[in-house]
Structure 1
Amino acid sequence: MADSKSQLVGSVISDRYEVHEEIGRGIFGAVYEGFHRQIEKPIAIKVLFQQVEAHDTGFKRFHREAQAASVLNHPNIVKIYDFGVSDSGRPYIIMDRVEGQNLKDILLKEGRMEAARALPVFLQICDALAHLHEHGFLHRDIKPDNIILHDTAFQKDYATLVDFGIAKKINEPKNRKLTMEGTVVGTPAYMSPEQVMGKKLDNRSDIYAFGVLMYVVLTSKLPISGGDAIETMTKQVTDNPTDIGRACPGIKIPKGLEMIINKALSKSPADRQKSMQELYQQLKACT
C-alpha cells in the first residue's frame, strides 16, 4: 500500500515522538524507527496508512491492535506504550524498538534451523501465544515475518512476537466484530482450514498456524502450498501436509517433535492440542 514517507520522516508526533526512517510495513500501517524525546529512548512508531485510515473498520482494527498488545505483559511480546492521533490526524502506536532480524529473513539467509536451535525459539513463541490466549485474544497471523530474533548477553535467539494487526477477541459479541463470519483474513499459507472457510475461530486456529511455522522453520518449506492464494487456501481444506521426512530428506528431528507438529496440523480443531499450554508442555518434553 503506498503512503507518503516524506510527510512523516523527520516530523515530530505529539511534540515528543521523532519519526526517523521507515523500517517495515504491516497490513494496516508502516513502522518507523523513532525517538522518544521525553525519556530519551529509541522507539518504533506504527502509523496507519492513509488509505486504511479512510475506512472506519481499518481504524478500529488499528485501535484493537493497540488494545491487544497494551494489556499484555510478556517478555516475548512487543511492548506498546501509547496510542493516539497526531495533530495532522494520523493514528499511531508507540512501541518498543525491537532489535534483530525477523525469522523470515533469517530462514532466507541461513536456511532451515536444526531442531536443537529451533526448539528454544518454539518454546518462547508458544509461551507468548499462551499468554495472548489467556488474555482473550487470537493472533490470526502467526508467521516468520512477525517474529524477531536477536542475541542478548544471556541468550541466543531471543524471540519477540510482533504485529497484532488482525488480532481478534475470543468470543467477541457479534455487534463488536470487525470480521464477519464468512470473511477470510490472514496469510493463506498459515491459515487453518476453519479460517479459510470463514468459520468462528478459537485458540486452536492459532495452534494450526504455529504448527505451520514450526514445519517451515525445520524444513524451509511449507506443508501445504499452491500456485496462488486461492489454490493454497483450497488445499488447506482438502490436502494433507507433506510428510516432514519427504519434504526434507535426511532431516533429523526428535520423533516426538514431528508428532507434535502433525497433531497441530490436523484438519479438525478437535484433533489438535487443546491449548498452547498443552503444546508448550509437549515441546518442553522434547528438549
Structure 2
Amino acid sequence: MSDASDSSLGPEVEEFLQATKLEPGTVINRTYMIRQLIGAGSFGSVYEVYDLRLKRIVALKTVLTRFDSIQAQRLKREIELIRQIEHTNVVRLYDFGEDPSGILYMVMEFIEGKELGEVMREEGPFDLQRTLAISTQILDALVQAQKVGVVHRDLKPQNIILTREGMRSDVVKLVDFGIAKTYSDASVGPFGQMSSTMGFGTPLYMAPEQIQGTRVGPYTDVYTVGLIMLEMLTGAPPFHGETAIQILSEKTSWTPEIPRNIVPPPLAVVLEKAVQMDPKDRYQSARTMFLDLHGTGLLGPLSGVFEVPKDADPDFHRSGTAATVDIGDASTHPRIQAPEVRKTMQMGREEL
C-alpha cells in the first residue's frame, strides 16, 4: 500500500513523522511487527502490524512525542477511559504503551472498510433510510462513550468507517477516540493556539464552543452528528466557506438552515435542535437525540438493546419506546460496494 500521509501537514510535522517512521519488519516491544504504513497525520502515524503473541493483524498508532509530561499523563488517562468503551460500532482499543525509544503507541482493532466521506463523494446524497441507519449507529456508539465520560470531539466523515459484517452492510465503526477528552475536564485552548493546527477538531465539523475555547460536552458531538446527517441527505456540508477561517467565522455567527424541501418535517425538527449554535439549545446527550429520532416515526421496525434513557427530552412528544435500528435489514438502505482499500485509525487528518 502506498504511503497515505496527509499532504496538508506542515513542514515541522512532516519532518517529525519522517524521522519517526517505522520500517516494515520493525518490532515494537517484542510484540508488534510492522507490516506497512496505513496513514499519517498531525497526531502520528498508523500502521498495519502483526501481533506476535496473539497471532492476529491489528492497527498500531504512534503518537507524536512532542507532548509535555502533563499532556502525556492526560493522554494516558483518556486512553484508560477509551478502553472501557465496548461497542460494536467503536473500534476496539487493545493496548497502549511506550517503546524503549520513547514512541507512544496505541494498538487497536484492524478494520477493513471505506470512510463515510469517501462513500459520500462516490455515491452522492444518501436516501433517508440509509442516512438514519448510519446515524443511529453513530449515536448508539456515542451513548456508550458518554456513559464512561468520554466526548469524541473530532467526529467527521473521515473518522466514520463503513464496513461489512456477513450479510450486513453500512456497519459503522467510529475511530479516532484517541484525542477524545473526558468532559469532567473538557475545554480547549484559546482560538489563537487552536487555529494553527486544529488539533482537537476539523473546521467543517467543529462545534462553536470548540472554536471559542469554551467548555465542550456530549452536546458537542450531537452538533457534529447533526452536521453529518445534513451532509448525507444533501450531498454537501451545511457551511460553505472557502477557507478554514471563513468556516469558523460562519459557525460562530449563525445556525445552519435545514433544507425542508429535502428533509421530512419531523426530522427537520430534530436536526434543527441538534445544530443550534448555542449548546444550551441543543440535545444534551446522544441518548435524547436518538429518542427524538425514533419519535419521528421514520426509523421503521426497531430491534436491539438500546436502553430507553430516564433523561429523555421532555420537549418532544414520542410515540415509540426506542431500541437500535436493525442494520442487518438489507431492505432499509443500499449496500455499499466491497472496500477497495483498507482503512483504519487515521488520526489527525486536517481536512476541511
Q: Which residue of 2 aligns with 1:37?
A: 52
Please state whether the residue corresponding to 1:112 is helix, strand or coil: coil
Q: Which residue of 2 aligns with 1:122?
A: 135
Query: Aligned AA for 2:268?
Result: E
Q: Which runs of 5+ in 1 are unaligned?
A: none
Per the normalisation by structure 2, the TM-score is 0.73
The 2-side partners of 1:264 and 1:10 are apart by 47
Q: Which residue of 2 aligns with 1:204?
A: 219
Q: Which residue of 1 aligns with 2:65?
A: 53
Task: Report if the CA contact (8 A) 2:61-2:106 is conserved.
Answer: yes
Does residue 33 of structure 2 align to residue 23 of structure 1? no
Q: Which residue of 1 aligns with 2:250?
A: 235
Q: Deviations over 1:141-167 (max 9, x none)?
A: 111011111111142111011002321
The 2-side partners of 1:8 and 1:59 are apart by 25
Q: Which residue of 2 aligns with 1:145?
A: 158
Does residue 141 of structure 2 align to residue 131 of structure 1? no
Return the offset for 1:229.
1.1
Return the offset for 1:189.
1.3
Query: Aligned AA for 1:264?
Result: A
Q: Which residue of 2 aligns with 1:263?
A: 273
Q: Deviations over 1:190-236 (max 9, x none)?
A: 11222211111221111111111111111121112312111111110
Aligned length: 275
Task: Report if the CA contact (8 A) 2:204-2:237 is conserved.
Answer: yes
The 1-side partners of 2:248 and 2:84 are apart by 32
**What stretches of structure 1 move > 6 A for 4+ residues in a row?**
none
Does residue 74 of structure 2 align to residue 74 of structure 1? no
Please state whether the residue corresponding to 2:252 is helix, strand or coil: helix
Does residue 230 of structure 2 align to residue 215 of structure 1? yes
Per the normalisation by structure 1, the TM-score is 0.88
Task: Report if the CA contact (8 A) 1:61-1:165 is conserved.
Answer: no
Matching residue within 270, 284, 292 for 1:282: 292
Q: Percent identity?
A: 33
Task: Report if the CA contact (8 A) 1:28-1:165 is conserved.
Answer: no
User: Are residues 59 and 258 of structure 1, via their aligned partners in 2, closer, same or farther at CA, if it must alter by over 3 Å?
Assistant: same
Q: Which residue of 1 aligns with 2:173?
A: 160
Q: Deviations over 1:235-273 (max 9, x none)?
A: 10112314325xxxx63x432222211110111212211
Q: Over the residues paired in the alignment, what is the CA RMSD in angstroms?
A: 2.1
User: Are residues 24 and 60 of structure 1, via their aligned partners in 2, closer, same or farther at CA, if it must alter by over 3 Å?
Assistant: farther
Query: Aligned AA for 2:93?
Result: I
The 1-side partners of 2:155 and 2:32 are apart by 29
Task: Report if the CA contact (8 A) 1:140-1:205 is conserved.
Answer: yes
Bigger relative contact order (CA 8 A; separation at least 6): 2
The 2-side partners of 1:138 and 1:6 are apart by 30
Q: Which runs of 5+ in 2 are unaligned?
A: 1-12, 195-199, 300-352
Q: Deviations over 1:52-111 (max 9, x none)?
A: 313316644653553232121111111111101113221111110011111111111211
